[in-house]
Structures are given as structure tokens and as C-alpha cells.
Amino acid sequence: MSAESLTPFLGNKPAQFLLNESLRRHTFHHAYIFAGKEGLGKKRLALQVAKSLNCLDPDAFPGPCERCQSCRKVDARSHPDVRVIEPETKVFKIDQVRAVIQDIYYLPFEGRHRVFILEDADRMNDEAANSLLKTLEEPPEKSMLILLTSNLYILLPTIRSRAQIVKFQPIPAREIEEYLVSVRGIAPAAAAKAAQLSQGSLGLALSLDLETLDAMQKSAFALLELMVHDDDFALLQHLGTLFAGSKTQDKNLDLFLQILISILRDLVIISLFQSREHLMYQDQIDRLRSLKLSFHPGLVEQFLRDIEDFYRKRHLNLKVDIYFQNIVLRTRKQILENQKR
């Protein structure tokens, strides 16, 4: 049994209930689309369905027993009737999808049902996606197809209309925080920050390196503090370090932007409310109070909009360092002008 199967499944109770009821009533569909951002447990729940359909313990139904030979084989990725297929290149090509289609019509080798789980299904090109349509229209009796996607509407409408869509929602930060503390043994303060920065994704929360998280937090606070002083050299030097070497990697850039956004949101809270209860950075209250003097709510709101716009566009063909630098310098200019009044 895998360690993962022993831990509780966080969030998305409606999705779990829907699938369990479908299994219990034998009304499950031949094709599903599990849709939601990365790290919400789509793949894990798909494997749970595969185990339930083939579990050897009838008393465990509709859930898998997690102990029988069939369940253990699914966990070990060695069950001949349960396949997880990833794109071999940046996209699912027609030949790879055709191989799945050919395989899906065989009867089960040792289980009751065959389950095919396609990861990153939105990475099918149109030719590969169209080749699935006949299979979705005339499904084999003993096979199930589960498409996993973080971009539901990239899938062709004809694909979406022929499968039952199960939407996965972000996991509440409190549930992630409690899991990190109670199951993973992470310190409460670090767990709270990781949970808030995870955007509802347990997978992202678990992938966060706490040392990197701390360094990024220090860098984000330092940037904001440099923005309130008339020292071009220090500010530009700091901006240069943000995008030097490996820091240009998507994951690190995303993390830095999320931390910066969370600090700015704390500035809004501390400016408008007396309570510190909802502050993420309660341990940095003195720095927040000092920054609040220069970052009034209207300016923070505009700065947030600019950064969130940059966050959405960051994967386009932008010179991210120049784009971000312009946002910072434009906001700083307004801060310095306000200080002179």
C-alpha cells in the first residue's frame, strides 16, 4: 500500500461523493473529465476509482480496501488493467492516442474493469483529440477513460460534451494548514504561510521549500522598502538579483509574485482594519506599519492590479525583467511624488 493511500483526501468532498454514489449505484460513466488546477488530487482520485472498480474485497465497496492484491498493484502502477498515460512530448500526438484507443477495446486481463487515465489531456492536438471521439461515442463495455486537465476549456467542445465533467475546487487554506502541521510535522507559522501561498493546491503547498520561501519573503519585503527611498542604484540592483540565474525559472518567479501579492494584501488589511487576525505576516507587523505610511490603499490597489496582470501574462513572450521593472518604477515614482506633497 502506498503512503499516499494512507493519508486523508483533502477537499473536494462533492467530487468524492458523486463518484462514490455512481459506483455504489452502478451508474458510473464510461468517460470522465477531472478538471481543476494542479495539486488538487485529480490523479489520486482517478486511481481511487480504478481501485474501487477492481478491488477484491466486496465488503469495502464502493471504496477500495487498500489491502488486497489488486489495490496494491494499482498503487505500484503494475496492474495490467489500470494505465496512467502521459504525453511523450509537449503534446499528445495522434500515434500515442491511437495506441490507447486500440488497447481500450481489449477485455480486462485480471480485473473487472480497465481504466485509462490520461494526464494533461488538454495537451492533445486537434488530430489526437478527434481520434478519441468515436471511442467516446461507442465506449467499450468494460473500460473507463478519465481525462485529467487543468485547462478544461482548451479541450475540444466535442470532447467535453461526451464525458461527465467533475470539477475540482481549491482546497481551503485551513485544511491544508492543518494537514501540514498534523501529518507532515511542519511548524505552524511556516504551515500557515505555505497554505496561504498554495492557492488551494496541496501539491503546491507540499512542493514549497521552506528555506526558499523565507528567502523570497525577505526579498519581497526588501523590494517594497527600497521603493519608498530615493536610491535608484539600490533599487535597480535589487531588481537585478530577482531575475538573475535560476530565479527566472517559472516556479520561483510565481512564488515571488505570490508572496509580493500577499504582502500587499496585508497592507490593505492593516490600513483599513484594526484587527490583525487575518494578516498573513503577523510576525512582520512593524515592517507592515512602516510600509503603510507610503503605500496608501489606492496606490496598493493599483500596484496589485498591475502585478496580477503581469502574473497572468508572465508565460507570454515578455521580457519579464523589463516588464516587472517598469511596474515597480512606475509605482515608486508615485510614492516619491506623494512624499513631496
Query: pLDDT value at position 27?
Result: 83
Q: What is the pLDDT of residues 119-177, one digit of tens each?
A: 999 888 888 888 888 888 777 889 999 999 988 888 889 999 999 999 988 888 888 88
What are the grid coordinates assigned to 272, written together? 483599513
Please give the residue that has the higher pLDDT: either 317 or 264. Answer: 264
Please give the residue that has the higher pLDDT: either 252 or 26. Answer: 26
Q: Which residues contact 322 (CB under 8 A, 6 or more apart)?
A: none
* Apex 10 CA angle, 185 and 61, nearest 5: 120
Strands (E), the chain: 31-35, 82-85, 114-118, 143-149, 164-167
Q: What is the pLDDT of residues 58-82, one digit of tens each?
A: 888 888 888 999 999 999 999 999 9
> Against a cut of 0.85, is the pTM above it?
no
Q: What domains sit in the chain, N to C, each tagged with a CATH number? A: 3-167 (3.40.50.300), 173-203 (no CATH), 209-340 (1.20.272)
Task: Evaluate whether 97 touches 133 at the Cβ level (below 8 Å).
Answer: no
Question: Cα 138 to the chain's mean position, in Å?
Answer: 33
Q: Give the C-alpha separation, 149 to 35, whole Å.
A: 5
Query: pLDDT value at position 35?
Result: 92
What are the grid coordinates assigned to 11, written together? 477537499
Whether the pLDDT of residue 236 is over 70: the answer is yes
Whether the pLDDT of residue 6 is over 70: the answer is no
